[in-house]
Structure 1
Amino acid sequence: MPFNRPTLSEIVARNRSDIETRLPGADSALRHSVLDVIARMHAGAASSMYGYLDFLARQIMPDTAEGEHLSRWASIWGIRRKAGVAARATATATGVDGTTILAGTEALRVNGAVYRVRETATIAGGTASLALEAAETGPQSDLTVATTLTLSSAVLGVNATLTVTAIEAAGAIEEDDASLLARLLDRIRTAPQGGSLSDYRAWALQVPGVTRAWVYPDWMGAGTVGVAFVMDGRANIIPLQSDLDLVADHVAELRPVTAEVFVFAPTPDPVDIVLRLVPDTPTIRAAVEAELTDFFAREAEPGGAIFLSRLSETISLAEGEFAHRIDLPDEDYTAGAGRLPALGTVSYV
């Protein structure tokens, strides 16, 4: 029989009933009376305890656990919450030859983001290459080539501005509960089999930042496995070379010794959509595009198909939409091998 947590009002009513049963003639409902205060005080304390019991009831099963309790459940199956990753880049500093820039020196971006020098460097030939790492994890600290940074404190013999010349790694946030729970349930429901398709997918998803992965047996012939993945937490979900190297190294430690693994980034394959919408307003257009973005994130996979019926259903889910007609694409869309269907330009007629 399920347990139903009583509301605060129900507990107050119970307390008043108990008081009046044990004190014949007493009126515990009299506002601001001592008995009324006692009934309400006890109800408040009992309600807090009921709330804690309700919380604990959710933590005793892995599919409803959250936070540190979910992490504890996941650890039993050898799954760890993926830590956040700080963005890394290389920048060029200019100044007087022989000047040393110490590790730990900080540089600032115009938005206030802080980056630290990872290794001490010395200026030679007027320049020095600095290895930088963001002070905070997450994609909000990602840099682009040619970005200008400014030293937070002056360094004698070094010009104040630095120029980013290469991107080593993009940032990633700490794994949230939803992603960790999905991996935990997948592990519980699909036991490891020493190198099955699901094993390769699980191994790729263990790498910080990886959100979706696909596995292709016999990708380059017998004995080979193809692994593709994306990183949905970034503006550009297609992985960098550094991301491919991380996943390849991680999978190499776990794969069967006889398997040859090819880790690759899928090639985006934009799907343009021409749509007739009723009613056609900016608000409803925004709702439609939000649904389409979510649809491609859920269902697109390298070499997969985008079915018109599913696309139409997605558009119908947009709040405020009454009717629509899709002019383009005019048939089911199938991507080529290794190509990932992605939402292209949405036009309205």
Structure 2
Amino acid sequence: MPFERPDLIALIDRAQADMDSRLDGAPWLRRRLLAVLARMQGGVAHGLYGYLDWLALQLMPDTAEVEHLNRWAGIWGVTRKAATKAASYAVFPAAAGAVLPAGTELLRADGVRYLTLADVAEHEGQVRVAIEAAEAGLAGNAGAATPLQLAAPVLGLEARGVSDGEITGGADEESDAGLRARLLTRIRKQPSGGAMRDYVAWALEVPGVTHAWCYPGEMGRGSVTVRFCMDETYADGIPHPDDVARVQAHIEGLRPVTADVYVVAPVPYPVDLDLRISPDTPRVRASVTAAVWAQLRREAEPGGVVVISRLREAISLAEGEEDHVLLSPAANLHLATGRMAVPGSITWEDSDDE
């Protein structure tokens, strides 16, 4: 039988009954001293019951709050993934002999700051310098050729430059939900010296990685192929080459010496929909789009199957949708090895068409 925490009124009534059992049964007046003492005792007991109720949650890793969750994770050797800083290179036009000092602050148009990592002299009319975001987190990531500006003038350099390639590698600190999921996986699935689940767990230890899959023997006997996604970092979740290199380097330090490990990014396979909905309004279209793509991303897996009935279900559950017809695709999509479904485009058919 589950334990039921008594409420404050019940505790006060218990205290009064306990006192009454030891006295002559005189009536309980509102302003009687014993009535005040009973309320005080009930209030103290109510606070203690509340603490015990909270403490019971901390005794189990699946309900523990952040402080005790971190302790549970530490006991099982699971470390919360720290926030990481985005990094890349930047290029600025420069006069002959100009030098860009290390620690120079660069600004993005939205105010995100980057710092140069080395002293770099002009070469062929420009300086190319390694940069790193001043603050860790997803906000530091940016696309190739992102405009950057010197926060303060540097002799011989133009104030405006661009990133040389994508600025990648930034990730936020792992959430409590992410840490808890990895902790429960560690408890339920013990390390096995290089089993499939070990490679998945190792990949998930890298900041920014949200899903991972392992395919033994795909590249030949003794080989292990690992694919992963970064749903919180990129719109389609597909990692970039720098991300692949980081995961490869991490696994290399943990894998069995005899394993031939290949870490690769899934190949995106855009899924386009031809759809008719009712009522066909901008709000319903937005609701349907969010619901159907969330469903696709939730079940996407390299080499997996896109189940059309699941997409139809997601569309039906979208807020405001009353009826729909999914014209295309009409059957389940079986993806080739390494290909993973990502959101494509939606063609909205006129609801009056037949």
TM-score tier, shorter chain, comes to 0.7 to 0.9
Q: Which residue of 1 aligns with 2:341?
A: 341
Give the TM-score, by structure 1 length. 0.88
Offset of residue 63 of structure 1: 1.2
Q: Could you report, residue by residue, the CA deviation over 1:180-229 in whole angstroms, capped at 9, with x for unpaired residues?
A: 11111112111111111111111111111111111111111111111111
CA contact (8 A) 1:20 1:27 kept: no
CA deviation after TM superposition for structure 1 residue 6, in Å: 4.0
> What does 1:2-21 align with in structure 2 at a 5 Å threshold?
2-7=2-7
Say if 1:130 and 1:20 are closer, same or farther in 2 by CA, change over 3 A.
farther
Task: Quote how far apart the aligned CAs of 1:152 are.
Answer: 2.0
Q: Does 1:263 align with 2:277?
A: no
Q: Report which stretch shifted further, 90-99 or 107-116.
A: 90-99
One-letter amino acid matched to 2:344: G
Which of 50-59 and 266-275 deviates more?
A: 50-59
Q: Quote the Cα distance in structure 1 between the aligned partners of 2:195 and 2:47.
A: 48
Instruction: Quickly say closer, same or farther: Cα 1:42–1:302, change in 2 above 3 A.
Output: same
2:352 matched residue in structure 1: none
Tell me the SS of whatever aligns to 2:207.
coil
Distance 1:339 1:24, change over 3 A: same
Counterpart Cα distance in 2 of 1:64 and 1:310: 30
2:321 corresponding residue in structure 1: 321
| Structure 2: tracts of 5 or more residues without a match | 350-354
For 1:137-148, what aligned pairs fall within 5 Å after superposition? 137-148=136-147
Distance 1:153 1:275, change over 3 A: same
1:1-349 matched pairs, under 5 angstroms: 1-7=1-7, 27-28=29-30, 47-167=46-166, 169-236=168-235, 237-349=237-349
Deviations 1:84-105 (A, max 9, x none): 1111121112334444333222
Amino acid at match of 2:146: T
| Matching residue's letter, 2:319 | E
Structure 1 Cα separation of the partners of residues 157 and 43 of structure 2: 63
CA distance in 2, matches of 1:156, 1:76: 54
- Once the two structures are superposed, residues 149-172 of structure 1 have per-residue CA deviations (whole angstroms, 9 ceiling, x without a partner) of 222223334332232112353311
Paired residue type of 1:61: M
- Pairwise CA RMSD of aligned residues? 2.8
Secondary structure at the residue paired with 2:135? strand
How far is the alpha carbon of 1:130 from its aligned partner?
Answer: 1.8
Task: Say how many residue pairs are matched.
Answer: 346
Rounded Cα–Cα distance in structure 2 between residues aligned with 1:173 and 1:242? 17
Gapped regions of structure 1 (runs ≥ 5)? none
> CA separation in 2, counterparts of 1:42 and 1:347?
68
Deviation at 1:71, TM superposition (A): 1.9
Amino acid at match of 2:162: T
Percent identical pairs in the alignment equals: 46
Shift of 1:34: 9.6
The CA deviation at 1:57 is: 1.5
| Shift, 1:15, TM fit | 6.8
Separation in structure 1 between the aligned mates of residue 12 and residue 306 of structure 2, nearest angstrom: 56
Q: CA deviation at 1:238?
A: 1.1
d(CA) in 1 for partners of 2:33, 2:106 = 64
